[in-house]
Amino acid sequence: MTQANVTDAESDIAITQASGRQDDLPAGLTADDLVEVCRQMILVRTMDERIWMMNRQGKVPIAASSQGHEAAEIGSLLAAQKDGDCFLFPYYRDLALKMAAGLTPRQVMLSFMGKEGEPYSGARQFPLQGADLPRNIIQISNVVAAGLTQSVGYALGSKMMGEPTVTICYFGDGASSQGETHEAMNFASIHRLPVLFICENNKYAISTPLESQMVISDVAARAEGYGFPGFVIDGLDLIACYEATRQGIDHARRVGPALVEMKVERFMPHTTDDDDRRYRDRDALDAARQFDPVTMFPSQMLERGIVTQEQLDEFRADALHQVNDATDFADAAEPPDASTIYDHLYV
Ligand SMILES: Cc1ncc(C[n+]2csc(CCOP(=O)(O)OP(=O)(O)O)c2C)c(N)n1
Ligand SMILES: [Mg+2]
């Protein structure tokens, strides 16, 4: 983990070189936790690939993929879960986070196919968009950067109520260039709100590469301008993401906002509606896939003797079984009944 900038005198986030390659177990984690992460990663990736397949069959209208973002999403979620007092504002690319938080494959497929029983919005909204309060998750809008002001508002509320909650807000590199991001970060800093900003920097905002979005190379460097610490993390390394989030949560609760930038890869086009062959170099993309977190993390755990080959094989077979079941289940489900169209609306 490298620290981009720290201007906050009270900041004491340790600069820990955590990595999945090290031998010790990361603070607060058991070997069982790491085995469970392997299972989640394999399940999420199997699901993500199936969603795209179902889009090509005309059964899923639109999807954004988390392929390449899994270590960032699952690693940070794990830190939030271990903490036990976090409230999360993910964004549309956070399928891995939502599934690792407990959303079942059937619920996911109902959401992407827009069927009755969809858990976030009753199939009214973009997939997985809405409130999932039992899991302390809200994603109200796909408007880029809208989640930043919403999450800061939530953090203000929890501070006023004297709650120990730390709000975690996820967003992309493109979102970091929106005016709303500035407003949110500045406000959070002035009021020392318990909020952790996590930027999943995949170097693209749809087809716009990072160099055309900003002239500096790290989003985290912007934290200095707001007077709180910013960190750059290898977002393909789950342990690094876990550790940075763990420390970021602690800082947010004790001192105030922090920004962790996780450098990730977007292996798929922006959404199922996009064709990235028009703007992404295939060789560079293939090279990036050598560092696929869903391949790397399980093999590191295998190497370290934390997971066995039999367990990984079993996870793959089970993932396929669950995803097949979810696909059949959602395919056979009905869309919401037309008579319910005015449900949940204010008069
Ligand atoms: C306010 C607003 N402007 C434009 C869009 C269209 N749009 C949707 S996603 C996106 C790119 C966002 O990129 P980034 O924040 O890097 O997230 P990523 O999709 O790469 O994870 C844009 C411009 C939008 N949804 N909202
Ligand atoms: Mg991006």
> Could you read off the pLDDT of 92-129 as tens digits, one per residue?
999 999 999 999 999 999 999 999 999 999 999 999 99
Residue 241, pLDDT above cutoff 90? yes
Q: How many angstroms does the Cα of residue 54 sit away from the middle of ligand 2?
A: 24
Q: What is the mean pLDDT of residues 21-36?
A: 87
Q: What is the mean pLDDT of residues 65-79?
A: 98
Q: What is the mean pLDDT of residues 126-141?
A: 94
**pLDDT classification of 131: cutoffs 50, 70, 90:** very high
pLDDT of residue 20: 58
Where does ligand 1 bind, in terms of residues with CB under 6 Å? 93, 142-144, 172-175, 200, 202, 204-206, 266, 270
Residue 21, pLDDT above cutoff 80? no
Q: What is the mean pLDDT of residues 229-249?
A: 98
The CATH number assigned to the domain with range 2-33+68-95+135-316 reads 3.40.50.970
Residue 285, pLDDT above cutoff 50? yes
Longest dimension (CA), the chain: 59
pLDDT of residue 273: 98
Nearest ligand (C-alpha, residue 206) = 1
Q: For residues 335 and 332, what is the distance between their CA atoms, to the nearest angstrom?
A: 10
Q: How many angstroms does the Cα of residue 218 sit away from the middle of ligand 1?
A: 18
Q: Return mean pLDDT, the chain.
A: 94
Residue 192, pLDDT above cutoff 60? yes
Q: How many angstroms does the Cα of residue 174 sit away from the middle of ligand 1?
A: 6
The pair of three-digit structure tokens given for residue 132, joined into one six-digit string: 């999932």
Q: How many angstroms does the Cα of residue 151 sit away from the middle of ligand 2?
A: 19
Q: How many angstroms does the Cα of residue 208 sit away from the middle of ligand 2?
A: 9
Closest residue CA from atom 3 of ligand 1: 144
Mutate to test the pocket of ligand 1, among 139, 144, 148, 210 (most ligand atoms within 8 A of CB): 144
Q: What is the pLDDT of residues 42-64, one digit of tens each?
A: 999 999 999 999 999 999 999 99
Question: Please, are residues 106 and 330 in contact by the beta-carbon 8 Å criterion?
Answer: yes
Residue 83, pLDDT above cutoff 50? yes
Q: What is the mean pLDDT of residues 315-332?
A: 98
